[in-house]
Amino acid sequence: MSKRIKALIKRDDNCLVLILIKINRMYQLDVVRTLKYFKINKGN
């Protein structure tokens, strides 16, 4: 994950779902894997 995306997520937690959709479109990631990634990095 790029630092820019991490900063974007930290700045605007309320739009997390929209950001995840954007990330998934950009990187074509698996949604479940992405959600697990955020759960781990946000410390639950």
How far is 19 from 41, CA to CA, in rounded Å?
A: 15
pTM: 0.30
Domain that holds residue 10: 3-41
pLDDT (tens digit, 0 to 9) for every residue of the chain, 44 residues total? Answer: 577 767 766 666 656 777 777 777 777 666 677 777 777 766 64
How far is 31 from 20, CA to CA, in rounded Å?
A: 8
- Asked whether the beta carbons of 12 and 19 are under 8 A apart, the reply is yes
Helices (H) and strands (E) in the chain, counts: 3, 0
Number of domains in the chain: 1
- Asked whether the beta carbons of 9 and 38 are under 8 A apart, the reply is yes
Return the pLDDT at 11: 65
